[in-house]
Every structure is written in structure tokens, then in C-alpha cells.
Structure 1
Amino acid sequence: MARFTPPAADAVRARLLLAARDEFAALGCNGAKVERIAAAASSNKAQVFHYFGSKEGLFDALVEQTVAETFAEVPVDTDDLPAFAGRLHDSLARRPWAPRLAAWHRLERGDAEPLEAVVARNAEAVAAVEHAQRAGVLPRSYRPAVLLGLVLHLAALWSVTAPTTAPEYDALVHAVTPARRRQVVVDAVAAIVG
């Protein structure tokens, strides 16, 4: 008789994170149901609590993973912030759950302890901008964190004003093609950095 071999812990954890991504992106942490996440991952509630401690722990782990994936896919390029913003725009357009998770995190978890992994990645990005400003590569018209924030928000502009998140605004700009939307991001960042 064949013996049962349980799936690797990493595989179970990855399935739970993937299932949680869609649930949390659609409903936020408060609206999401652990039962649905577990069922979508072919797992159970006990596994969620085993790997993440709580629904909030799962949500936070997913936010940390999403931020890490974004920085890995689109590393900050202080030599060409407009091109970086264009690539980040592309990443967010391909991965619509990323800006939605960030919005839910701000709305529902803003009072929670900051996610150390996210704080560390943001600090590294701000330090890179500051280094580029000191080297004369980037202008000093804005503090490093403010300049990075402007670039990040411009890159996410169309993701947070999409028909599903801001239909009233999208109706005003529906004629702006995807290629033009990307170019608007690149041009706006170029204007900021001169």
C-alpha cells in the first residue's frame, strides 16, 4: 500500500498566499473569509492559522510578498526614474491585485504595526534616491522620500483610477489608450526630475 506523503510546507504556504491574493484584493482583510481562502487553496483553516497565525497575519504576509515581488520585478533605477516609473506602471497593470492590496492595507491595517520588510525595502529605495541626489543624478527639489512617493504614485495613477476602482473618473479619460497612459506616467516623472 502506498504511503501518504504530505505536500511540502512551502507548497501549502504558497497555495494559501495565492488563494488569499484574490480574496483579499476583492474584499480586503475585513471582508475576506478564511474558509474561502482555505477551500480555494485545497487546504483548511487550521493550515492558515498554522502558517500565518491569523487572518491578519496572512494578509500582512501577502502584502509583504507583493511588495517584495514588485521590487524584484521592477528595481528602483535612480539613473532613469521616468523609465522606472513606466516599468512600474506596466507591472501594476499586469498585476492589478498589487495596488488593490496596498489600498486595503492602508484602509484596514494602517493602525497596525508597520510591516518591517516593507519598511526596510522602502528605506533602501529612499536611500538610493538620496544617494542619487547627492551625486547630482537627481534634483534636490524634493526630499528623497517625497520624490520617491511622487514617482510611485504617478506610476500607480491609472491602476487606482481604473473602471473597477473609480468608474466616475475613468469615464472622463476612457479615450486615453493604454500606451498613452504609460507615456503620461513617464512624461510626468520626467517633468518632475527635469
Structure 2
Amino acid sequence: MAYDAEDTKRRIFTAATAEFAEHGLAGARVDRIAAAAKANKQAIYLYYGGKEKLFAAVLRAKLEEIHVAISLDPEALAESVGQIFDWHQQHPELIRLLLWEALETCGDGPGEGEEERRAGFRAKACLLAANVAPGLPEQARVRAAQDLLFTIMGLIAWNFAVPGMCRLVLDEESDQAALARRREAVIAAARRLAAAPSPS
């Protein structure tokens, strides 16, 4: 059977996603990734340049995945929030990767791909700005939209960052029941936030 480089890269990427989500950057082991991917350790360095670059590639790809899968509709923000919530429920690894990034790589200056990610979020905020705080000047509307976007991201992400705490605080019997309840609450909160009057 001929060697398939793309299949090897895909297997490494899948194994790395699981390894980094479980153990973070510092705790991840290249030999475990290689074993799970049924690949040679040298292939990881050849295709990705090392553990840190592989982590950055995995995180960048997962963020791109949600960007492609979900469109933020400023005319139907609550519905978009429900879709984003559902995506995170189906892909809990993104929140774990972001938490590991925050714990292990932040504070050392701009990280790899930071400007690209910043530009993507700026574009989303500009899209929202048309419907946020219409009485304000353009720059103030963009800033209000950025605050709204980050607040909504927090409302969604915290449920998946601490699912056990979510279950306990809401006094539900299962994570699934707690998340179903939280989904409705987050959508309702997003609807109220989007309809809030402009700050003076």
C-alpha cells in the first residue's frame, strides 16, 4: 500500500486534538499522539514542526471550523446563539483547548495567529454593530458590539468549561438536563442584551 501523506496528517491532527484537549500543551506527549495516529513521531515534526506548532494548528483549525459551521446573523442573534451553543455541545474540545491556551501560553506577548484571530473577531463585531446601539457613532457601536460578542461568548462557554458546576448550581440530575435548561436561558439573555437600549 502506498504511503498517504494526507491521511497521515489527518490522523495526526485527530489524535493531537484529543491529546491536547485532555492534557493541554505541557502535558501532551508526542509519543502518545504518534501512537494514537499510528504514525511515526518524525512525521509530526515533518508536517507540523513540533508540539507547540501542532497545538497552534489544532486550535486555529477548530476556531475555523466553528467560523465555517456557524454564521452570526445580526437580524436573528438569539437563533445564532442557539446554534453556537449546540456546536459547542457537540464539540466540547474547543473550550478545553482555549482553556489550556489561557493557562499555558497567554501572558508571553502575542501568540501564533493572534492577529488573524483578532481580525476575525473584529469582522464579527462589525457585522453586529449595525444592530447594536444604533444611536451611537460608528466606533462606539463597534465597541458595544465587541462587548456584546464577548459577553455572549462567555455566556455560552462557561457551561462547557464547568459542566459539573452547571449541574450543581442549577440543581439538575444530569449534565444534559442542565445544558438544555442553560441553552434556553442563554438564548433569552442574548435576546435581552441585543435589545438593550444604547448606553448614554
User: For the superposition of Structure 1 and Structure 2, which TM-score range results when normalised by the shorter chain?
Assistant: 0.7 to 0.9
Match runs of 1:16-95 below 5 Å: 16-95=12-91
Displacement of 1:33 = 0.2
- Is the aligned partner of 1:104 residue 2:100? yes
Deviation at 1:141, TM superposition (A): 10
Amino acid at match of 1:130: A
Cα distance, 1:117 vs. partner? 3.7
Number of the residue aligned with 2:128: 129
Deviation at 1:99, TM superposition (A): 0.6
CA distance in 1: counterparts of 2:194 and 2:133, whole angstroms: 14
Structure 1 segments (4+ residues) deviating >6 Å:
none
Partner of 1:120: 119
Q: Secondary structure at the match of 1:192?
A: helix
Distance 1:141 1:10, change over 3 A: closer
Partner amino acid for 1:187?
A
Instruction: Please say if residues 64 and 117 of structure 1, whose CA atoms lie closer than 8 Å, have aligned partners that are also in contact.
Output: no
| Residue from 158, 161, 168 that aligns with 1:171 | 168
- Identity, % of aligned pairs? 28
Aligned to 2:2: 5
Counterpart of 1:69 in structure 2: which amino acid?
Answer: E
Distance 1:42 1:174, change over 3 A: farther
Report the Cα offset of residue 124 of structure 1.
1.9
Q: Is the 8 A contact 1:74 1:87 kept in 2?
A: yes
- Offset at 1:177? 3.6
State the Cα RMSD in Å.
2.2
Give distance in 2, aligned partners of 1:189 and 1:62. Answer: 29
Cα 1:27/1:127, change in 2 over 3 Å: same
Runs of 5+ in structure 1 lacking a partner?
none
1:133 is paired with a residue of what secondary structure?
Answer: coil
1:160 paired residue number: 161
State the aligned residue count: 184
Give the TM-score taking structure 1 as reference length: 0.85
Q: TM-score, normalised by structure 2?
A: 0.83
Once the two structures are TM-superposed, the CA of residue 157 in structure 1 deviates from its matched residue by 2.8
Gaps of 5+ in 2: 196-200
**Deviations for 1:127-155, whole angstroms, at most 9, x for unmatched residues?**
2122443878xx95962211110111112
Q: Higher RCO, 1 or 2 (CA under 8 Å, sep at least 6)?
A: 1
1:192 aligns with 2:197: no
107-116 or 11-20: bigger deviation: 107-116
